[in-house]
Every structure is written in structure tokens, then in C-alpha cells.
């Protein structure tokens, strides 16, 4: 039988050095008594599930019992929480009593069946499971980890959620800019990628060919790629328009690859709305295939993430890890990854995106030079061991507080 093996912190040694490995392992030893629960709303599709898949395993590998629960709900529940997600990113919401009741009832039901009473550290991800905090007697800190772009949250929704958020012992946002007016202490952790997953590990050329062929993706012309959930905030229409403009200057194939998360009922509509723009050189695919994500990101001449709101944007770091100079929307967490003109480009319009697509296709040497810097940026700042260490430090700071309180 195949013997499965978990990634260990030691596997990161070639990237982070042995001193960092030893430091992390020695910090982790202090927390073997912890029993951590993470709660989110989808087991795949989207960055939170991607992060939890890797981070929960890495935490277990260093001896910290770390679990992951996914809340359940019918489509009407997820249609409400998706509206909340949109409103936190600045959209409108008609927050009726009916919606609030469904939201709170479904979360109560999830709380009843999840039994988080014996965990001594609970991390709730994003707004969907937020009210769970009301339904348990805490045995340790509860932390709210919000991954969305909070540049301009809808005030009505924020006022409704604030009392729930203030029941937590700390909140973690991705960027300092997302700081809110809250009584709860606020921390800022940038997300990170796991270089050993199917999305990020190094594929052989044959493996890449096989995946691209399997999905009928032509490789005769340079590939221009955006990989992201079918979501308006990712601006897929803008990518198609930019590509059309760029094609007046250069020849290429556009591939928009996306998936739909189980907590996002708007995804299929967004996908379908794009389909009449498909043509021979504009390929739009809705398929869940992480090896294809890897093959596309590593074979692409140009990778885009033209979001108009983006909490962080793991896809940016993923492509940069593969040595790509990414063209990213000048928003949220993308700004923390791309140093424009150095390791990629930040753009504010379709026209700028088009210009950069053509420039990158034409300038191979510069493109490759920027791509090398992009990979180095990820190695320095966006590998999962950095995030693991931030969590260990957070556990440590709570231990100090709890000891102080007796
Ligand atoms: N992803 C995927 N298949 C797809 C589209 C996205 O596996 O068709 C992955 C992508 O590689 C990344 C995650 O889903 O790991 C998306 O995370 P990101 O932070 O970019 O965006 P989010 O969906 O969380 O807004």
C-alpha cells in the first residue's frame, strides 16, 4: 500500500534555512497541550480552504492537535452569507430581519452539532460561522480570522456583525489597512502558500503537457492566464477586454480557469455570463483540477489577477512562486505581493492591463528577470512556515495573558 507522508517543517529547510526550522520546531514544542479547531464554510474552492488544507496538517506535524470543521447550510443560507461577503468588500446589502434570522438559526444548528466545548483554541474563519461564538463556554481564546478585503465594508452590515466580533479574544485581518474600530485586539497576518501541494510543486514538462492536452488547451501561442473562482470581484470581464485589446498588438491564447466554492451560489451565474465571449483563442473553463492550475501557471507567459477587491490573492503568490511576473489589480493584498515594475505590474485599468500583457509577451528577457525576483519575493515573505510561526507566536502571547490572569 502507498504510505502517505505529511509535509514537515524540515522540508522547508532549502528555502528558509536550518536556523528557522529549528526555531519554529522549538517554539511549537511549547504548545503540544493545545487542541485547536478551525471553522470555515467550504472544504474546497477559494483561498481559505487552500490555506486550511496545508496549515492544519503542518500544525499537526509539529505536534499541535489541529482540527478543521466545515459548517453546513442550504443554498438560501449561503446566498445570504455570499451577500454578506460582498457587502464586507463594499457592496450593497438589504439586511432584512428574515436574512438575519436564517443566518443566526443555521449557525446555531451548526454549533449544536459541532461540539467545540473541549478545544482550548478556536479559530473562526470569515463571516459565515461568526455567531458560533455565542453558543459555547470558552475553554481558551477564540479568534476571528477574516480573509476578505475590508477596505470599505458596508456600514449597516458591519454594525450588525460588530457585537459578535467583539465576543472574540482577538481578530486577525490580512492587512493593516483593514483595521476597524473595534474593542477587540487586531492582528495582521498575510496569507502564505505551501510549495509542496499539487498546485505548487514542480511538475515535469511531460506532466504539464499531459494536463494541458487533457483539457484541450493549445500551446502553439503564448498563454495568458487568470485562475480564480468565478466571482465579479476577480473581474473576469476586465481580463477578457484587456486580452482583446492586447491581441491587436500580439498573438496569444487566453485561458480563464475557475471553480465554484460550495459556499458561493453566485459562481455558476458568473461563469455562464462569460460563455458567449468564448472563441478559439479565448478559453473559459470551469473545472476543479489543481494539477491544471499548476500546469497553466507554470506554462503561462503572462499571469493576471485583475481583481477589483482582493483580501490577499493566493493565486498571485502561486504564480510568482513559478517565476511569473504577475499583472495584478492595484488593490488589497495584491499590493503587498507585487512591487510594480520590479517583480510584476499593478494595474488600475483594462487599458493598463492590455499594455502590460503585450509588453510581457514581447520582452522575454525582462519578463524572466522579473519572474526570478517574483520567486524570491515568495521565498522571503509568503511561504507557509512564516504563517505557522505567526500562529505559534499568537499562541504564546495568549499563554502569557492566561498565566497572568491565573
Ligand atoms: N483555485 C483552484 N482552482 C480554480 C481556481 C482557484 O484550485 O479553478 C485555487 C487557487 O489556486 C488558490 C485558491 O483557489 O489556491 C484561490 O485563492 P485566492 O486567495 O486567490 O482567492 P479566493 O478564492 O480565496 O478569493
Q: Is 310 helix (H, G, I), strand (E, B) or coil?
A: coil
- Domains of the chain by residue range: 9-192+383-405, 205-381
Ligand 1 centre and the CA of 220: distance in Å? 26
- Give residue 61's pLDDT: 98
DSSP 275: G
Going by DSSP bridges, is the β-strand pair 170-173/142-145 parallel, antiparallel, or unpaired? parallel
Rounded alpha-carbon distances, angstroms, from residue 16 to 12, 24, 54, 63, 316: 6, 11, 17, 20, 20
Ligand 1 centre and the CA of 114: distance in Å? 27
**pLDDT class for 404, splitting at 50, 70, 90?**
low
Q: Is 234 helix (H, G, I), strand (E, B) or coil?
A: helix
Residue where the block lists cell 504564546: 396
Q: Which CATH class is domain 9-192+383-405?
A: alpha beta
Residue nearest to atom 8 of ligand 1 (CA): 258
Ligand 1 centre and the CA of 294: distance in Å? 11
Of 165, 157, 153, 116, which Cα lies nearest the Cα of 136? 116
**pLDDT class for 2, splitting at 50, 70, 90?**
confident
Fold match flag (9-192+383-405 vs 205-381)? yes
Q: Who lines ligand 1 at CB under 6 A?
A: 46-48, 50, 199, 227-229, 257-259, 290, 293, 312-315, 318
Distance CA 123, CA 119 (A): 10
Distance CA 269, CA 282 (A): 19
**pLDDT class for 401, splitting at 50, 70, 90?**
low
Q: Which atom of ligand 1 is nearest to the CA of 233?
A: 25
Distance CA 326, CA 283 (A): 19
- Cβ-in-10-Å burial (0-12, 13-18, 19+) of 270 comes to buried
Q: Which residues neighbour 107 within 8 Å (Cβ) at sequence distance 6 or greater?
A: 71, 128, 129, 130, 131, 132, 135
pLDDT digit string (tens) for 136-188?
999 999 999 999 999 999 999 999 999 999 999 999 999 999 999 999 999 99
What phi, psi does 312 have (nearest 5°)?
A: -140, -65
Ligand 1 centre and the CA of 46: distance in Å? 4
**pLDDT class for 294, splitting at 50, 70, 90?**
very high
Torsion-angle region of 126 (φ positive above 0: left; ψ -120 to 50: alpha; else: beta) = left
Residue nearest to atom 10 of ligand 1 (CA): 315
Ligand 1 centre and the CA of 48: distance in Å? 9
- Give residue 65's pLDDT: 97
Q: Which atom of ligand 1 is nearest to the CA of 297?
A: 11
Cell of 367: 519578463
Mutate which of 43, 44, 47 for ligand 1 pocket (most atoms within 8 A of beta carbon): 47
Ligand 1 centre and the CA of 406: distance in Å? 43
Ligand 1 centre and the CA of 301: distance in Å? 19
Q: Which atom of ligand 1 is nearest to the CA of 257?
A: 8
CATH number of 205-381: 3.40.50.2000, 3.40.980.10, 3.30.1950.10, 3.50.50.60?
Answer: 3.40.50.2000
Contact 84, 102 (CB under 8 A): no
- Give residue 402's pLDDT: 64
- Give residue 403's pLDDT: 62
Q: State CA 255 to chain mean position distance.
A: 20
Partners of residue 125 on adjacent β-strands:
145
pLDDT digit string (tens) for 372-395?
999 999 999 999 999 999 999 999
Cell of 172: 486577525
Residue nearest to atom 6 of ligand 1 (CA): 228
Is residue 108's pLDDT more than 90? Answer: yes
Distance CA 81, CA 26 (A): 40
Ligand 1 centre and the CA of 247: distance in Å? 26
Tell me what percent of the residues of the chain surpass a pLDDT of 90.
95
Distance CA 51, CA 158 (A): 25
What pTM does this model have?
0.97
Residue nearest to atom 7 of ligand 1 (CA): 290
pLDDT digit string (tens) for 246-289?
999 999 999 999 998 889 999 999 999 999 999 999 999 999 99
Distance CA 169, CA 161 (A): 15
Distance CA 395, CA 401 (A): 10
pLDDT digit string (tens) for 203-246?
999 999 999 999 999 999 999 999 999 999 999 999 999 999 99
Of 22, 29, 31, which Cα lies nearest the Cα of 399? 31
- Give residue 39's pLDDT: 98
Residue nearest to atom 17 of ligand 1 (CA): 47
Mean pLDDT of the chain: 96
Ligand 1 centre and the CA of 42: distance in Å? 12
Residue nearest to atom 9 of ligand 1 (CA): 46
Amino acid at each position: 500500500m502507498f504510505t502517505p507522508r505529511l509535509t514537515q517543517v524540515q522540508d522547508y529547510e532549502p528555502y528558509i534555512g536550518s536556523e528557522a526550522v529549528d526555531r519554529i520546531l522549538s517554539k511549537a514544542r511549547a504548545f503540544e497541550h493545545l487542541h485547536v479547531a478551525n471553522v470555515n464554510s467550504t472544504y474546497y474552492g477559494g483561498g481559505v480552504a487552500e490555506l486550511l488544507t496545508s496549515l492544519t496538517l503542518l500544525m499537526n506535524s509539529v505536534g499541535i492537535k489541529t482540527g478543521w470543521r466545515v459548517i453546513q447550510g442550504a443554498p438560501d443560507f449561503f446566498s445570504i452569507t455570499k451577500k454578506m461577503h460582498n457587502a464586507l468588500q463594499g457592496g450593497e446589502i438589504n439586511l432584512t430581519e428574515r436574512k438575519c434570522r436564517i443566518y443566526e438559526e443555521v449557525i446555531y444548528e451548526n454549533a449544536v452539532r459541532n461540539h467545540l466545548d473541549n478545544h482550548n483554541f478556536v479559530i473562526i474563519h470569515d463571516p459565515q460561522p461568526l455567531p458560533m461564538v455565542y453558543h459555547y463556554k470558552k475553554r481558551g481564546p477564540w479568534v476571528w480570522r477574516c480573509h476578505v478585503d475590508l477596505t470599505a465594508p458596508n456600514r449597516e452590515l458591519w454594525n450588525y456583525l460588530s457585537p459578535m466580533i467583539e465576543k472574540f479574544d482577538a481578530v486577525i485581518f490580512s492587512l493593516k489597512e483593514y483595521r476597524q474600530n473595534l474593542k477587540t485586539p487586531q492582528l495582521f497576518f498575510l496569507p502564505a502558500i505551501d510549495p509542496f501541494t499539487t498546485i505548487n510543486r514542480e511538475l515535469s514538462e511531460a506532466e504539464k503537457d499531459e494536463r494541458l492536452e487533457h483539457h484541450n488547451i493549445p500551446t502553439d501561442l503564448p498563454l495568458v492566464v487568470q485562475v480564480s473562482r468565478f466571482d465579479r470581484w476577480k473581474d473576469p470581464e476586465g481580463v477578457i477586454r484587456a486580452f482583446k485589446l492586447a491581441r491587436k498588438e500580439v498573438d496569444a491564447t487566453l485561458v480563464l480557469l475557475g471553480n465554484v466554492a460550495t459556499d458561493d451560489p453566485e459562481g455558476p451565474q458568473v461563469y455562464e455570463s462569460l460563455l458567449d465571449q468564448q472563441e478559439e483563442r479565448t478559453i473559459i473553463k470551469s473545472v476543479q483540477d489543481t494539477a491544471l492550475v499548476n500546469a497553466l501557471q507554470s506554462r503561462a507567459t503572462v499571469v493576471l489577477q485583475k481583481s477589483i477587491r482582493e483580501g490577499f490573492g493566493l493565486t498571485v503568490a502561486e504564480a510568482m512562486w513559478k517565476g511569473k511576473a504577475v499583472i495584478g489589480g492595484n488593490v488589497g493584498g495584491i499590493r503587498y505581493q507585487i512591487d510594480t515594475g520590479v517583480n510584476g505590474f499593478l494595474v488600475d485599468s483594462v487599458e493598463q492591463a492590455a499594455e502590460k500583457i503585450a509588453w510581457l509577451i514581447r520582452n522575454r528577457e525582462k519578463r524572466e528577470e522579473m519572474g526570478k525576483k517574483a520567486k524570491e519575493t515568495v521565498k522571503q515573505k509568503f511561504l507557509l512556515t512564516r504563517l505557522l510561526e505567526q500562529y505559534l507566536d499568537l499562541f504564546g502571547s495568549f499563554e502569557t495573558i492566561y498565566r497572568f490572569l491565573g
